[in-house]
Structure 1
Amino acid sequence: MDHVVIIGNGISGVTAARYIRKLSNKQITIISAESDYFFSRTALMYVYMGHMKFEHTQPYENWFWKKNKIDLVNGFVKTIDTDHKTLVFENGNTLNYDKLIIATGSKPNKFGWPGQDLNGVLGMYNKQDLENLEKLAPNNKLCKRAVIIGGGLIGIELAEMLSSRQIPVTFLVRESSFWNGVLPEGESTMINEHIKSHHIDLRLSSNLKEIISDENGRVKSIIIKETGEEIPCNLVGLTAGVSPNIEFITSSKIETNRGVLVNRYLETNIPDVYAIGDCAEQREAIGNRKPIEAVWYTGRMMGEVIAQTICRNKMTYNPGHWFNSAKFFDIEYQTYGWVFAKPKENHAHFHWKHADNTKCITIEYNTITHEFIGINTFGIRMRHETFDTWLTEKRTIDFVINHLSDANFDPEFYKRFENDILATYKNQLQNV
Structure 2
Amino acid sequence: MKADQHVVVIGNGIAGITLAQRLRARAKCRITVISAESATHFSRPALMYVYMGHLRQQDIIPYADWYWKEQNITLLHDHVEKIDTDKKELQLQKGQSISYDILVLAIGSSAVYYNWPGQQLKGVQALVTWQDLELMQQQTIGIKQATIVGGGLIGVEMAEMLQSKGIEVTMLVREPLYWRSNLPQQEAQLVTQHIQQCGINLLLQDELAEILGDTDGRVSAVKTKTGAELPCQFAGIATGVKPNISLSKNTAIETDKGILVNYLFQTSCKDIYAIGDCAQFREPAPGEPALEQLWYTGRQHGEALAAILCGGGTPYKRGPWFNSAKFFNIEYQTYGFVPRDWDEQHYSSLYWEHPGKTKAIRLFYNLRNSQLVGINLLGVRYRHDLCHHWLRSNYTIHHVMQELTAANFDAEFFQRYEPELLRQYYQQFPEQQAPAKQHAWWQLRHRFSLFSTTPDNC
Matched, 1:373 2:373: yes
- Measure, in 1, the Cα distance between the counterparts of 2:348 and 2:172: 31
* Unpaired segments ≥5 residues, structure 2: 431-458
- Report SS of the residue matched to 1:79: strand
Give the corresponding residue for 2:298. 299
Identify the range of structure 1 (253-262 vs 117-126) with the bigger mean alpha-carbon deviation: 117-126
Deviations 1:292-329 (A, max 9, x none): 11111111111112122222334321211111111111
Matched-pair contact (CA < 8 Å) for 1:343–1:349: no
The one of 136, 143, 148 equivalent to 2:139 is: 136
Matched-pair contact (CA < 8 Å) for 1:264–1:316: yes
Give the corresponding residue for 1:83. 86
Deviations 1:215-262 (A, max 9, x none): 12111111111x212111111111111111111212211011111111
- Per-residue deviation, 1:429: 5.7
Matches within 5 A, 1:313-392: 313-344=312-343, 346-392=346-392
Matches within 5 A, 1:273-288: 273-288=272-287
Give the corresponding residue for 2:206. 206
Give the corresponding residue for 1:17. 20
Amino acid corresponding to residue 14 of structure 1 in structure 2? I
Deviations 1:35-75 (A, max 9, x none): 11100000111111121111111110112112222111112
- Report SS of the residue matched to 2:34: strand
- Measure, in 1, the Cα distance between the counterparts of 2:304 and 2:396: 32
- Measure, in 1, the Cα distance between the counterparts of 2:164 and 2:273: 41
Identify the range of structure 1 (144-153 vs 283-292) with the bigger mean alpha-carbon deviation: 283-292
- Report SS of the residue matched to 2:177: coil
- Measure, in 2, the Cα distance between the counterparts of 1:192 and 1:163: 16
Matched-pair contact (CA < 8 Å) for 2:144–2:166: no
- Measure, in 2, the Cα distance between the counterparts of 1:187 and 1:287: 27
Deviations 1:189-223 (A, max 9, x none): 11110110011010111111111121121111111
State how many pairs are aligned: 426
Matched-pair contact (CA < 8 Å) for 2:350–2:421: no
User: What percent of counterpart residues are identical?
Assistant: 45
Amino acid corresponding to residue 69 of structure 2 in structure 1? K
- Measure, in 2, the Cα distance between the counterparts of 1:21 and 1:394: 35
- Measure, in 2, the Cα distance between the counterparts of 1:351 and 1:315: 37
Amino acid corresponding to residue 282 of structure 1 in structure 2? F
- Report SS of the residue matched to 1:361: strand
Give the corresponding residue for 2:121. 118
Matches within 5 A, 1:416-427: 416-427=416-427
Amino acid corresponding to residue 123 of structure 2 in structure 1? G
- Per-residue deviation, 1:417: 0.8
- Report SS of the residue matched to 2:64: coil
Give the corresponding residue for 1:251. 250
Deviations 1:313-347 (A, max 9, x none): 34321211111111111111111111111125611
- Per-residue deviation, 1:387: 1.4
The one of 80, 102, 106 equivalent to 1:99 is: 102
Deviations 1:244-295 (A, max 9, x none): 1111212211011111111010111111000000111111224533111111
Amino acid corresponding to residue 246 of structure 2 in structure 1? E
- Measure, in 1, the Cα distance between the counterparts of 2:391 and 2:305: 26
Matches within 5 A, 1:40-51: 40-51=43-54
- Report SS of the residue matched to 1:285: coil
Matched-pair contact (CA < 8 Å) for 1:289–1:322: no
Matches within 5 A, 1:190-269: 190-225=190-225, 227-269=226-268
Give the corresponding residue for 2:455. none
TM-score, normalised to structure 2's length? 0.90
TM-score, normalised to structure 1's length? 0.95
